[in-house]
């Protein structure tokens, strides 16, 4: 892509330019936006630290050469290298909250955020929540989001990846929740101690077939956070097997398995899973209460 840096001067110019470049490229939108215009707006405005809304006053502002070079480089990398926008910006939003992200963690995009915003209702009923475990936490967005909804709860962010936990630690500091949100390195439940009122997880769940055919954008994400064996259930099996021993009486287990939900449903025909529906879209998330999980284990 040749540089038009001397021809494009205003914010409006760069919004138009980015939109045209994206529209002419075989980009995949699956990391926060779903269309060319929203992708362009986020790239340009967040690169300039400008608001995404109520920003018309800035549209005809002229950019410095340094700002123009930054935006052009990010547009080039988005088009030529297919780098997800969140990695170019170093941030992603989840539950209306910003999170640091880079190629050590997946880009936050789980529908579980809607469930957290609703306080895990109606499934939680009147049960109090004192301890929450975010298993396979990545950036920490699910656990930190839960900490914002349950300000009295102690939250643990767990991941096998030390690199991912470095990002999670930075987000603990970003949201000023150190002291009641803790990061723990663990391979699923191996280093997890105690019991929790809610265990919530967005683990790796991509099966081998889907992994081999994913768009180029996903190749920038850590495979450790995506791949889960031939049927996508390697981690889910371990979570189901160990969760009851780490849940308080009446606690909830909530796990996202995405497109692998059919395989999981077939693998556990007698397990009384509730498959959740979301107003804002998304599927492949199941919920099961501790008594039902323990009763199923006893009968199997």
pLDDT of 1 > 70? The answer is: no
Whole-number pLDDT of residue 149: 97
Contacts of residue 37, Cβ cutoff 8 Å, sequence gap at least 6 = 19
Evaluate whether 237 touches 264 at the Cβ level (below 8 Å): no
231-251 pLDDT, tens digit each: 999 999 999 999 999 999 999
Q: Taking residues 38-63, what's their average pLDDT?
A: 92
Strand order in the sheet with 196-201: 181-185, 154-159, 131-135, 196-201, 247-256, 285-289, 274-275
Detail the DSSP E strand segments found in the chain.
Answer: 91-94, 97-100, 131-135, 154-159, 181-185, 196-201, 247-256, 274-275, 285-289
Q: State residue 207's pLDDT score.
A: 83
pLDDT-derived band at 280 (thresholds 50, 70, 90) equals: confident
Task: Sketch the domain layout of the chain as residue ranges.
Answer: 11-89, 98-299
Q: For residue 2, is pLDDT > 70?
A: no
- Higher-confidence residue of 4 and 265: namely 265
Question: Cα(272)–Cα(46) distance, rounded to whole angstroms?
Answer: 44
Q: 286: which DSSP letter?
A: E
Residues 6+ apart with CB under 8 A from 81: none
**Longest C-alpha distance within the chain, in Å?**
72
Give the model's confidence band at 25: pLDDT under 50 very low, under 70 low, under 90 confident, else very high: very high
- In the structure, what pLDDT confidence band is assigned to residue 298 with cuts at 50, 70 and 90? confident
Average pLDDT over residues 156-169: 98
Q: For the whole model, what pTM was predicted?
A: 0.93
| Beta strands, E only, 110-266 | 131-135, 154-159, 181-185, 196-201, 247-256
Region of 254 (left: φ > 0; alpha: ψ -120 to 50; beta: rest) is beta
| Lookup: tokens for 86 | 């969140």
Tokens 């495979």 appear where?
A: 223
Which whole number is the average pLDDT over 31-39? 91
pLDDT above 80 for 4: no
Q: Which fold is adopted by the domain 98-299?
A: Rossmann fold (3.40.50)
What average pLDDT does the segment 193-197 reach? 96
Smallest CA-to-CA distance from 144 within 158, 129, 131, 134 is with 134
Output the CA torsion sign for 216, 79, 102, 56: negative
Two tokens, residue 43:
């790239």
- The CATH class of 11-89 is mainly alpha
Mean per-residue pLDDT over the chain, rounded? 94
Q: What token pair was written down for 60?
A: 């005809």
* Residue 194 burial (10 A CB sphere; 0-12, 13-18, 19+): exposed
pLDDT in tens, 250-273: 999 999 999 899 999 999 999 999
Which tens digit of pLDDT belongs to each residue from 54-96?
Answer: 888 899 999 999 999 999 999 999 999 999 999 999 999 999 9
183: its two tokens:
């990061």
């Amino acid at each position: 892509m040749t540089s038009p840096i001397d021809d494009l001067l205003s914010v409006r110019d760069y919004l138009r330019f980015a939109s045209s470049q994206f529209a002419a490229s075989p980009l995949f939108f699956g990391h926060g936006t779903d269309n060319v215009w929203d992708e362009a707006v986020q790239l340009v405005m967040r690169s300039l630290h400008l608001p995404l809304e109520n920003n018309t006053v800035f549209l005809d502002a002229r950019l410095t050469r340094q700002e123009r070079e930054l935006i052009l480089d990010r547009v080039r990398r988005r088009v030529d290298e297919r780098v997800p926008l969140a990695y170019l910006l170093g941030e992603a939003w989840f539950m209306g909250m910003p999170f640091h992200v880079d190629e050590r963690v997946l880009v936050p995009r789980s529908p579980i955020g809607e469930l957290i915003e609703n306080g895990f209702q109606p499934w939680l009923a009147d049960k109090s929540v004192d301890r929450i475990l975010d298993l396979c936490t990545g950036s920490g967005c699910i656990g930190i989001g839960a900490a914002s909804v349950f300000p009295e709860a102690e939250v643990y962010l767990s991941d096998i990846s030390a690199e991912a936990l470095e990002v999670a630690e930075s987000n603990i500091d970003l949201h000023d929740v150190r002291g009641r949100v803790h990061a723990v390195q663990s391979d699923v439940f191996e280093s997890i101690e105690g019991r929790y009122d809610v265990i919530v997880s967005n683990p790796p769940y991509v099966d081998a077939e889907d992994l081999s055919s994913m768009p180029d954008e996903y190749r920038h994400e850590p495979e450790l956070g995506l791949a889960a064996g031939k049927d996508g259930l390697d981690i889910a099996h371990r979570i189901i097997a160990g969760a009851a021993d780490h849940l308080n009486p009446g606690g909830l287990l909530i796990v996202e398995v995405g497109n692998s939900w059919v395989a999981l449903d077939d693998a556990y025909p007698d397990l009384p899973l509730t498959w959740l529906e979301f107003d804002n879209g998304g599927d492949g998330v199941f919920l099961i209460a501790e008594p039902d999980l323990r009763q199923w284990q006893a009968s199997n």
